[in-house]
Amino acid sequence: MDYQEYINLVLEGAAPLKVIMCGNVQESADGKVGVVSIVYATLNKDAARQKILELAQASPNDYYMVYSVPLDTDLTTLSHYPSIAISKSDL
């Protein structure tokens, strides 16, 4: 499954909240730092689809992922919850 197929699959997920996260590497006084941020949240899957395309086009060196998230849920109790891994080799 390629990236776009995965995005489409997630956007069709049953959980109503769509959260877009961004992973990137930033320079700091101590060197490079991996940063993961929530950059957009919506209940509208079409708005999420449009926004992730806009963000990825505007910042092609960043990594964007969208998640379908249930409301009123401790996300740490799920088998997988919104996250992006940044390894030392990414830095």
For the segment 45-62, what is each residue's pLDDT rounded down to a tens digit? 999 999 999 999 999 999
Q: Tell me how long the chain is.
A: 91
Q: Which ranges in 1-91 belong to alpha helices (H)?
A: 3-11, 45-58
Banded model confidence at residue 77, pLDDT cuts 50, 70, 90? very high
pTM of the model: 0.86
Each domain of the chain, given as residue ranges in start order, spans: 3-81
By the 8 A CB rule, do 68 and 6 touch? Answer: no
To the nearest whole percent, how much of the chain has pLDDT over 70?
98
